[in-house]
Amino acid sequence: MSSLSERPAKGVVGVPVPHESAALHVTGAALYTDDLVHRTKDVLHAHPVQAATARGRIVALRTGPALAVPGVVRVLTAADVPGVNDAGMKHDEPLFPDEVMFHGHAVAWVLAETLEAARLGAAAVEVELDERPSLITLREAIEAGSFHGARPVMESGDVEAGFAESAHVFTGELQFSDQEHFYLETHAALAYVDEAEQMFVQSSTQHPSETQEIVAHVLGLHSHEVTVQCLRMGGGFGGKEMQPHGFAAIAALGARLTGRPVRVRLNRTQDLTMSGKRHGFHAAWRIGFDADGRIRALDATLTADGGWSLDLSEPVVARALCHIDNTYWIPNARVTGRVARTNKVSNTAFRGFGGPQGMLVIEDIMGRCAPLLGLDPMDLRERNFYRKGQSTPYGQPVVHPERITAVWRQVQENAGTAGRRREIAAFNAAHPHTKRALAVTALKFGISFNLTAFNQGGALVLVYKDGSVLINHGGTEMGQGLHTKMLQVAATTLGIALHKVRLAPTRTDKVPNTSATAASAGTDLNGAAVKDACEQLRERLLRVAATRLGVSASDVRIVEGVARALGGGDELAWDDLVRTAYLQRVQLSAAGFYRTEGLHWDAVSFRGSPFKYFAHGAAATEVEVDGFTGAYRIRRVDIVHDVGDSLSPMIDIGQVEGGFVQGAGWLTLEDLRWDHGDGPHRGRLLTQAASTYKLPSFSEMPEEFHVTLLENASEEGAVYGSKAVGEPPVMLAFSVREALRQAAAAFGPDGAAVELASPATPEAVYWAIEAARRGGAVRDGRRPAGAVEDGPVEDGAVGGGAAGGAHLAGAAAQAGAHAPAGA
């Protein structure tokens, strides 16, 4: 085992401890960015001037009426930018646009003494627009050929030969919804200029270094003239990886021009209408199975709704392609990705970063095709699992395929699936208007950034004369428990108690050039960097202790705050050891660094090994569905998840539970709606609050919820043998959707193939039930869209409109285009 993975005796990693800020969270004492406003003097408040059209060139922008409003100090426009008028890393996101690109686009910002004065001032600004045609739905963009960015193609094997040798070939389409992050803390920034003309920005950001970079180039400064700090975030989920930069730049620009601190804090409606979502996707696919139900070939085109600018859409699509295989070996594959450009907010990172979208496609295929193949869905899934020696379609070997089988079998054992499925069959036979179903799905999720350069982390660890320790690292805390794990890693590496270590807020002047806290890599990168810094300090202190104890440094261990020689003898307490080191002029600070080894990726050929390892998990979900309304409840969920050798079990279990519920919300509840009519409000987000956008609540929680971490699963080459846990649990929720599909199918004849919309709202489930009652072969009295020609190898279509055609007319305009696979 490598030194990075090996655990010392009596360390505090692996011990279940509460979140380091838990008490502050529940008492309301935790400070967030906007809380600092009340500790800052003479703050100005910023309010956006939002355009109420989906697209139009700005003909005139009259700010005079705003300046006449009492309390208004200044109106920020493009003319005020001393540097580059752009807030994106792709240079396609003007901070102050000359063309409105989505309904709610901010064209100017008003600064005032109070937020109310700023609001009134923003309402007084006169914006004259030359309106232009807009594209709101993914279908409109595809039909118009509106795309931007790269169009990667992932190929392996011989696709046409794979179809030729297939006994069964099916085609179909799927369109599924985007998802709002709905973090509790909306976007916020507070900026001020210090006496040395340095810009200091407090920002709710997952990527302080990039926020620093954007602020610097907007202001025409160098990075060393800008410091960005993130205290903590009240949730991020990827929505604060790229999108905080513009809001921080507005605050910084206002502070630079007025000489006063400037606050930007979006209210909920502004956050919903101005910030990006999880990418919705359309998929057109063709798949071939042999006579035994094993996949022989897949040809698919995935189209993401990128919104008005690229943001992170290209890597999101790349990761979707890399995860369309999920846990299944596909020997012959051709998958094309593309980004549609629409006149909506710029969609961005969201927990899973394209992985859930890619995996949803293959899981939907398996759920739809299983009855057509005459196979139980669980059987079809298991017989296609990766085996030893097999590689992904992009060429990365699946090193531990036995973990897929391990979590799959353990979750069935824990859930008692065999006996419960018999009970469910008996229940369904006795209840014609209520049906139950139990589905099991598994996941394989790659950990690391697809862009190799991002796979690095840094840390600065300080030991003070009294023996206390302060950690700085490049990761940010958004409630996920990263800081808690870093404290445990530092204490374990140094051999001291947890209470001796404190963690400082993330700042760009302490650890530079950091990567975003994203891709589930926060612990891997920053934990290894913290460990590296602590190991440097420990080695120095061991030499000091060896001199005092009269032994070789290699024979000294620091355990539970005491330095001892192997075999016994004298001891030296940690505090005394540190004081002695100081008196001997030994350096008591260290900068740590880590770069993930073994990664390589060619984005052009779409080949390589972009991931350090794969995380695995499996979930068994039982649901009950009402045949009259489509309403349902989740009766029980069992999960077995692979987090390696857990650094902090309490944190990890919480992440698994939260990820599952968030995934279930995306797949079953959260239904973003836009006005796509031709009226004056075209492009307006209709679901602008929690009253119209349904989030998971206690009533949607499983009545029984059991989470088990896979044992004996230490990961070689990762910090203390642990694995990432942030994103993978989201995809455990596929089991909910598949259980709903099976429950809907139970209302029809045996073997009916049921299509199910995503999100599978009660309305969508109702229409799936109605289709099942008609035998599943037709929809609304018509042959399903996407029907394939009859032939010796192509024996049927798995129908295909938007999301399986299960939405009512209100959602039909969000329908996906019928683009052929490979288009």
- Catalytic residue IDs: 727
645 contact partners, CB below 8 Å, separation of at least 6: 7, 14, 713, 714, 715, 720, 721, 722
CB neighbours of residue 6 within 10 Å: 11
User: How many Å separate Cα 328 from the centre of its chain?
Assistant: 22
What is the residue type of 309?
S
Let me know: does 302 contact 283? Beta carbons within 8 Å. yes
Q: Are strands 44-50 and 600-602 parallel, antiparallel or unpaired?
A: unpaired
Q: Are strands 295-307 and 333-341 parallel, antiparallel or unpaired?
A: parallel
State the Cα–Cα distance between residues 823 and 814, nearest whole angstrom: 20
Q: Between the CA of residue 600 and those of 390, 391, 404, what are the distances in Å? A: 18, 15, 24
The two tokens of residue 782 are 């018509």
The two tokens of residue 13 are 């990693």
State the Cα–Cα distance between residues 585 and 540, nearest whole angstrom: 11
773 forms beta bridges with none
Q: Are strands 571-573 and 295-307 parallel, antiparallel or unpaired?
A: unpaired
628 contact partners, CB below 8 Å, separation of at least 6: 433
Q: Per 3-state DSSP, what percentage of the chain is helix, strand, and coil (rounded to 5)?
A: 30, 25, 45
Q: Are strands 99-100 and 56-62 parallel, antiparallel or unpaired?
A: antiparallel
Q: Exposed/middle/buried for 691, CB within 10 Å: 0-12, 13-18, 19+? A: exposed
Query: Dihedral angle at the C-alpha atoms of 660, 664, 666, 669, nearest 10 degrees?
Result: -150
276 forms beta bridges with none
Half-sphere CA count of 307, side-chain side, radius 13 A: 30
Q: Which helix (H) or strand (E) holds 615?
A: strand 613-626
State the Cα–Cα distance between residues 389 and 590, nearest whole angstrom: 42
Q: Between the CA of residue 623 and those of 364, 752, 767, what are the distances in Å? A: 18, 19, 17
| ω into 729 cis (within 30 of 0) | no
Would you say the C-alpha torsion 182, 665, 139, 445 has a positive or negative sign?
positive
How is residue 587 annotated by DSSP? -
Let me know: does 701 contact 736? Beta carbons within 8 Å. no
Let me know: does 668 contact 360? Beta carbons within 8 Å. no
What angle is formed at CA 683 by the lines to CA 677 and CA 687, rounded to 5 degrees? 100
464 contact partners, CB below 8 Å, separation of at least 6: 470, 578, 588
Half-sphere CA count of 776, side-chain side, radius 13 A: 24
State the Cα–Cα distance between residues 708 and 119, nearest whole angstrom: 50
Which residue in 467, 470, 469 sits closest to 563, CA to CA?
467
The two tokens of residue 5 are 């993975």
Let me know: does 806 contact 768? Beta carbons within 8 Å. yes
What angle is formed at CA 606 by the lines to CA 600 and CA 609, rounded to 5 degrees? 30
Residue 479's region, left for phi above 0, alpha for psi from -120 to 50, else beta, is left
Q: Which helix (H) or strand (E) holds 523?
A: helix 522-549
What is the residue type of 148?
H
58 forms beta bridges with 129
